[in-house]
Structure 1
Amino acid sequence: MSAPATTAEKEYTGGCHCARFRYAFTHAPFAQGETAVEACNCSICDAKGAIWALVPEDKFRLTKGALGELTLYEFHKRVYKHYFCPTCGVALVLGVPSKREVHVNVRATDGVDVGKLKVTVFDGKNLL
């Protein structure tokens, strides 16, 4: 039996509503439900309605604006670093420094039909 074929990564772009910040990242395809993304049920993510794609730090970059220009909100004992646009308020990325990955808000990603995503729930509500 042969090994399953690996899914090639795709480049995605996105940004906030006012276009002050833009980003690009590579990830396995998820726009048609090929790869799961996460909806966290913690109080902050639930209120934002964000859906997250987990991306290694080295596969994500801001293409317009700088990380230091985003507003930072630290959550859950300051472990989770939520970055959002200070002008329009759109949540863009969630950083988890100890894991060397970022979570990119798929709702702010260009051309993604949220209705076609394979969404799993991350139980952030019950993190210790």
Structure 2
Amino acid sequence: MLYKGNCHCGKIAFEVEGDLAAAVRCNCSICPRKGALLWAVPHETLRLLAWGDDLGKYTFGNHLIAHRFCRTCGIHPFAEDVSEGIERSAYVNVHCIDDLDLDAVPIFDFDGRAV
């Protein structure tokens, strides 16, 4: 299925193709603060439709994940693997997907603090 989404102001827009069977609630040091529920997808299935200079990047710890955010409204629509030599994934914040019934999406907890 094709899903479309964006940040609050719409300057960052994306579409992603896949089967949204579940989302992950991570307890690492950043995910709870931004309220993200993440859907892991192959990186090539995430297509940015709008971004320009508004797409910011934040990394921390081992710098393997780039947490992307809108520099205008501050919303974090996705993150992505940035290390080389691995099969890259993108992590879509399902809160940013248009017209999604979150009550129908199973949520699984992930212990990101232990990683």
Query: Counterpart of 2:110?
Result: 122
Larger Rg: 1
Check if 1:38 corresponds to 2:24: yes
Find the counterpart in structure 2 of residue 27 from structure 1.
18
Name 1:6's counterpart in structure 2.
none
**Unaligned segments of structure 1, at least 5 residues:** 1-9
- Equivalent residues of 1:39, 1:122 under 8 A apart: yes
Counterpart in the other structure of 1:100:
88
Corresponding residue SS for 2:77: strand
- Percent sequence identity over aligned pairs: 33
Question: Structure 1-normalised TM-score?
Answer: 0.81
The AA in structure 1 aligned to 2:14 is: Y
Of 46, 50, 55, the match for 1:64? 50
Q: Distance in 2 between matches of 1:72 and 1:12?
A: 23
TM-score (norm 2): 0.90
CA RMSD across the alignment: 1.3
Query: How far 1:36 moved relative to its partner?
Result: 1.5
> Between Structure 1 and Structure 2, how many residues are aligned?
112
